[in-house]
Structure formats: structure tokens, C-alpha cells
Amino acid sequence: MLTRAVVNHLFYSGKFRLLVLALLAASMSGCASTTTGGVVGVKRSQFLALPASYVGNMSKQAYAQTLSAAQKKQTLNADPILVDRVRKISNRLIAQVGVFRADATQWQWEVNVEKSDQLNAYCMPGGKIMVYSGLIEKLNATDDELAAVIGHEIAHALREHGRERMSQAYVQQFGLQAIAAVLTRGTSTVAGNASMQAASMGSKLFFALPNSREQERESDRIGLELAARAGYDPAAAVSLWEKMEAQGGAKQPEFLSTHPASANRIAELRELSPTVMPLYEAAKAAK
């Protein structure tokens, strides 16, 4: 029977290492999709090399650090009325996530609000939501508009866009060896260093890497369906992005730096609204 030390030695040496890396590359090139399509039909295959647990742990740590920093500044959940409003909207959306993936109903969802002038919001892998008060106050956002933006962010988490971006970045930055080190917990110096460097970039990669246009389209579509199923008007997605663009001026809002709006995007949302309108009407009738 081979010991772990012997296996690690074999893995990180000679032809066997090359063979394992080749097999790893082949496995990562396979098709995978994190969600079912819903009525909006999101079905793209994704590149998800990093384990979900690995990305989830980094997300928890980064989110905990964010909460701790906000608490020290006394900006975390400073307005109880606003926090209650955001959580009620978020919880209605979260109640619908099983439509796209059943396991998400068991995630440890967290919803918090930070007092900040930034027009920003995000949902980290595993369901860690943060909404900045500036997004609500500067836009004078309605509940329907808040549902549109929070639903969009939840969709990013459901589709594991953060994990997808990190997987691509790890391979580009460190090569397959770093991925192999994560998957096998390898102990070679080279692989170990690459893995540690990559891990240290985890939260930075999540916040710094922009979503691709296709990822944005997917989140627009899924977010629109989540909101409609939760009883929020799909038309609010259009008015939300129009308000966001109007805030641009000389300085682009933080949200638009990673979620670029455009006339095409708004047109696509308007075109998709009739598809989810029956879901909205059914949800309203059920109340």
C-alpha cells in the first residue's frame, strides 16, 4: 500500500506528475452547470476547477472580515428600519432559490446593510449578502427595485460566478499546478507556494475581477425570475438600471464598475419581462 508521502512524491515528479496534470486538465474541460434553466433558460456550461468548499471557505472568511470592519466603524446595520426592509425583501427572494438549485435552500444565508454613500451591493459565494445604504438612499429605490438588484446579486451566487472567475484566474496566474495543489493538498514547495499565493488572493479576486458580459446576462435573467416569483414587478429592473446610469455623471458609481449598464442591457430586460410576468401575476394573486 502506498503511503501519502510516496503518493505525493510520485505526483510531483516526472512523467506521473505530467500524466495526473493532463488528466486534471481533461476533467476540468468537461461540461458543468450550477443551476437549472428556469423559464428564463440559463443553461451555459461553466469552467469550475476550484472546489466549491474551497471557495466557500474563502467567502466566509472575507465576509466575516467585512462585518468586523464595519462593526468597528459602527456602520454595520446602523439603521434598524432599513435593515428590516432589506432582510424582508431578501428573504422573499431566497425563498425562491430552490427553483434554480435545491441545495441553495440549505445555504447559511446572511443579509446585512452597511451605512455607506457607495451605490453598491453584492452576494458572495454561499449566500453572503451585503447592501450599502447609498444604493437605497441615493436612488430612492422602491421595494421592487431593491428586489431587482438583490435578486441579480443572488443570481451571481447561485451560478457561482465568483468560483468561475477564481478558477479562470488561478489557472491564468499560477497554472494547473496550483489547482492540483488545492485538489490534492500537495506538499511540494512549488505547488504549496502557488496554492498559498492563490488562497491569499481569494477575496481580492472576488471583488476585483469583473463579471463577464455573459455572467451579467445570466444574473439579469435569473434575478428577474427570482423577483417575479417573489411577487416583485419585473419592470422595476429597467427603472433600477435607468436610475443607476443617471447617477453616473463625472464619477461612475461603484456598482457600475463591476456591473456595467448599457442601452442593450436595459432593452434585453424590457424584452424579457413578458416571459416572467405570469410568475409575478401568480405570486401577487396568491397573497
Q: What b-and-e string marks burial along 68-100, b requiring 16 or more CB atoms within 10 Å of the CB?
A: eebeeeeebbeeeebbebbbebbebbbebbebb
- β-strand 110-114 against 128-132: which pairing, if any? parallel
The Cα–Cα gap between 122 and 156 comes to 9
- β-strand 128-132 against 121-124: which pairing, if any? antiparallel
8 Å CB contact between 65 and 127: no
Classify the C-alpha dihedral 252-257-259-263 as positive or negative. positive
How far, in Å, are 15, 27, 39, 83, 86 from residue 130 at the CA level?
Answer: 47, 34, 27, 10, 10
> Strand, helix or coil at 175?
coil
8 Å CB contact between 55 and 162: yes
* Catalytic residue numbers, as ranges: 153
The Cα–Cα gap between 149 and 134 comes to 13
